[in-house]
A and B are shown apart, each in its own frame.
Chain A
Amino acid sequence: MAPALSLRSRAAARAGGWAAEASRRLGGGEGLVIGGRVSLALDPSLLAGLSRDRAVALVSGTNGKTTTTRLLASALMELGPVAHNSGGANLPSGLVPALAGSPAGSPAALEVDEGWLGAVADAVSPGCVVLLNLSRDQLDRVSEVRNVASRWRSVVERLGHAVVVANADDPMVVWASRDAAHVRWVAGGQSWREDAAGCPSCSGRIDYDSEGWRCGTGCGLERPAPAAWVSGSQLVVPGKGNHSIELALPGRFNLANAAMAAVAAAEMGVPLERATAAMSQVTGVDGRYEVTAAGGISARLLLAKNPAGWAELFDVLTEDVAPAVFAINARVADGRDPSWLWDVPFERLAGRLVVASGERWRDLAVRLRYAGVDHVCAPDPLASLELAAEHYGTGTGAAVQVDRCADPGVRRDFRSASDREGEGRAERAVADDRGRRIVDVVANYTAFQRYRAALRPLRDAPRLADQAPVSLK
């Protein structure tokens, strides 16, 4: 423990450790959050004390927080031990154990909930703040997008000397960051534009073109010239050269996350070359992209929590005849209102069979029905994978015998000719390194955790899984 900490802080951190240990023994998970809560209750200034004499980078945004923080931490590890919160524990109670569990003075890469950025930044005096993107998410719990952007704006004003690494492609982020004393604009991409049609500065209309975006009323808000961007698999930083990024993680959005992380790492003292090399070693992030053998198939877990995240993930789904499994929950951590399913362009998946799963499979089934996407339903994780294995290679729903949905009439073909265009798609099987067929599982937050837990026994006993019969019931 750092000698700079007060007696009270040290006692608080110790008590938090006991609480975490007790929680672990009682089977309550890792217990880090409860430990952090106990510590903070005993000493509210603990977060400030634990981050004194450290270089701290904070990462916030609607999508990509956990992955970007993980990438940044891997780059900072080039310099030695790093304090870093994993598992998405991104409230102050989750930051305390991350800091308390690392050597005093080591740098920190911390993911922070977008609503908590101000409180955390005030406590830890970060040297670097990475602002990724803002879009609709959990509207029943988190405020509307413009409120969050406005709060970020006041946080940025209070930052003083800190460097803000901000996404030049997101008007909300640019508006929040443009008065920062030190800002590094990175072309981080934001293909989701539904929440930034109106200018956050003057309520005018934002015009997008191939060059970028600007407010149509001429209030002056426009895409700033980026200091770094991704071109192909190269990170381009004028003045500091091109650096190849060979990520093990899929998707355009992860290249953008890596670009943001690399620029932040450079601000924290890791040369770009070493940062990008270190990031290429990251293969999974808290279970995301993890592939698990389950019966006759391999399930690849993908996390998407909101329309912007889902739209990005459609581009990384295996492009073939594999069914996709989608799992939706609507617990507090997911947002209690799954109306956002109607903002996800499921129509793009016409021609692929979807297994609707999760606690809110009925909401998803209705959405898919109206989108013209054939589907079968299985609320349970293992049952849903079994169904996917059963239907693997049957291609479009027209050939699928459906008997598990509430609606036995789902087979009836309501689709127009244009909806059926996808049916002629060539059959290409994607297999993992052992020749098993890969099925993508896209789940939102708590549904993702449920799949991960359900698949854990299979991961821990890979031999058994290999020999398991197709039935997983």
Chain B
Amino acid sequence: MSRESAVRIVVVHPELLGTYGDSGNGRVLATRLRWRRIPSELIMAPADRPLPQSGDIYCLGGGEDGPQVSSAAALNVDGSLVKAVDRGAAVLAVCAGFQIIGKSFPGPDGREVPGVGLVDAVTRRGRGPRAVGEVVSRPVPGLRLVPLSGYENHAGVTRLGPEASPLGMVHRGVGNGGGDGTEGAWQDKVLCTYLHGPVLARNAALADHLLSSVVGPLGLLDDAEMEELRRERIRNGISGPATGRAWARHVWRRPSEVMTRF
């Protein structure tokens, strides 16, 4: 696909959704384009200004509960993110960002806060302990991706509706936490996940999947260092000490269902 202008990557509200290093995802995308000599522009878009309309990929990250509500409110004022997606933009939403672009999520006081509604997902506060630890997830077959590695840190439990597919199934870790073993969400050009790391730094193939959804097929890069990291994390994640108590409980409840899935 030939392009007339630079690919615009918009990091949405980094001052509100930048707590877990996820603005690195935007940097990974822009850098991978630059390495391929494709012009790119990385735009940090704070919440007190209108969201740039002409973005090609929008990245949302994890954040604290209060700022998460502010971010959702700002996005819902003008519906600009929805319009951008209608126009063909792609979205990567992580953790709090995932919850924001779903239909609703719990605010700091536990009350339901309306989300942007880009993804058929509803988040509620989990009853168990916070899901914290390494995650290994096997992407759904339609994505044709190698297993993903990341680090989750969230209290919310997200249930997907019929319009959203999970991004993957957890092999280790909690993921969406609804007891079905799903992790993240995938709906057309919108990818959602609970994985930090940042997820695109650890999983170069997922970064290229996002990029090619807006610029078409891409040539390969020398990703030996990134692959080394991903493989080492997955080795560690599978053999390391279990940290996901909630997941363990969930396996205990439905052992056959979960174990046969892998």
Chain A positions within 8 Å of B, measured between CB atoms, are: 136, 139-140, 144-147, 194-195, 197-198, 203, 205, 216, 336-337, 339-343, 362-363, 365-367, 369-370, 405-410, 412, 414, 416
Contacts and interface: CB of A to CB of B under 8 A. Distances in A.
Contact of B225 (A140, A339, A406): A406
Contacts, number: 108
B4 interface: no
A216 B64 CA distance: 20
Contacts of B137: none
30 contacts: A139-B19, A139-B20, A139-B153, A140-B133, A144-B19, A145-B19, A197-B15, A197-B16, A198-B15, A198-B67, A203-B67, A203-B70, A336-B133, A336-B243, A337-B151, A339-B22, A339-B151, A339-B197, A340-B20, A342-B22, A342-B24, A343-B21, A362-B229, A362-B232, A366-B229, A406-B228, A408-B224, A409-B222, A409-B224, A416-B34
A301 B15 CA distance: 32
Contacts of A341: 21
B132 interface: yes
Contact of B18 (A343, A366, A410): A343
Given A194-B15, A414-B35, A366 B132 contact: no
B31 interface: yes
Contact of B224 (A145, A406, A416): A406
A446 B202 CA distance: 23
Contacts of A337: 20, 151, 153, 196-197
Given A194-B15, A414-B34, A203 B225 contact: no
A362 B226 CA distance: 8
Interface string B64-81: 111101100000000000
Contacts of B35: 414
Given A336-B133, A337-B153, A414-B34, A369 B225 contact: yes
A140 B132 contact: yes
Contacts of B201: 342, 366-367, 370
A342 B225 contact: no
B18 A339 contact: no
B179 to A, nearest CB: 23
Interface in B1-22: 15-16, 18-22
B138 to A, nearest CB: 21
B198 A342 contact: yes
B198 A407 contact: no
A37 B167 CA distance: 45
A146 B66 contact: yes
